[in-house]
Amino acid sequence: MRVVIAEDHALLRDGLIRLLEAHDFEVVEAVDNGPRLVPALVQHRPDVAVVDVRLPPTFTDEGLKAAIEARRQVPGLPVLVLSQYVEQLYARELLTGGGGAVGYLLKDRVSNVAEFLDSVRRVAGGGTAMDPDVIGQLLARNTRDEPIGRLTPRESEVLGLMAEGRSNAAIASALFVTEKAVSKHTNNIFAKLDLPPSEDDNRRVMAVLTYLSSR
């Protein structure tokens, strides 16, 4: 799988390259600033881009903006954004770019190599990978008078994992239940949230996230 990396810290950049190349990814380009990122993404059209939010020259949200811009030019371009902190505003901006295939993770998640690689592969495969922190904040919202308040604790748990972008199989193994139980829970969730059932994994996550973030 071909990857473009944008990260300004040399150490982290090298670490990411080494990590990904050790797991059969091909790093086609690694840039260290925002302005070079958009052309790199548009030119290489990688299977997935791993982008740091904060990049030179402004050291603000240059990377995020470049990712959004690249996704505007190449719709559906899979981008996994890494950041030192998670901000729902940014998650929303990435998601409203349309076309799924986005991820937004805390940088620390890289340290859990298996989970990180799973996230990268998920985004490359057109799915989403949302940081548990973002989802946690969304689910922790005051839910008086909200349909989400009608969910059982187990269903909220399933919704959380679902919103991170995990498949039923992954949720089942994370919660130590059968896949059948998970799909029963998801159907209940869809019914309670008035979401029409859909076969598309990604659309269901998008639907949930859009529902959660549009309030």
Report the interface residues with other proteins, using CB under 8 A: 53-54, 58, 60-61, 64-65, 68, 72, 84-85, 87-89, 92-93, 106-108, 111-112, 137, 140-145, 213, 215
DSSP 143: -
Nearer to other proteins, 43 or 112 (CB): 112
Nearer to other proteins, 146 or 179 (CB): 146
Shortest spacing between CB 213 and other proteins, in angstroms: 7
In angstroms, rounded to a whole number, what is the distance separating the alpha carbons of residues 100 and 169?
A: 20
In angstroms, rounded to a whole number, what is the distance separating the alpha carbons of residues 184 and 180?
A: 6
DSSP 110: G
Shortest spacing between CB 68 and other proteins, in angstroms: 7
Nearer to other proteins, 28 or 117 (CB): 117
Nearer to other proteins, 64 or 123 (CB): 64
Shortest spacing between CB 178 and other proteins, in angstroms: 28
On whether the CB atoms of residues 71 and 48 are closer than 8 A, the answer is no
Shortest spacing between CB 206 and other proteins, in angstroms: 17
| Long-range Cβ contacts of 137-145 (<8 Å, 24+ apart) | 137/88, 138/88, 138/163, 138/209, 138/212, 138/213, 139/163, 139/212, 141/212, 141/215
In angstroms, rounded to a whole number, what is the distance separating the alpha carbons of residues 115 and 33?
A: 26
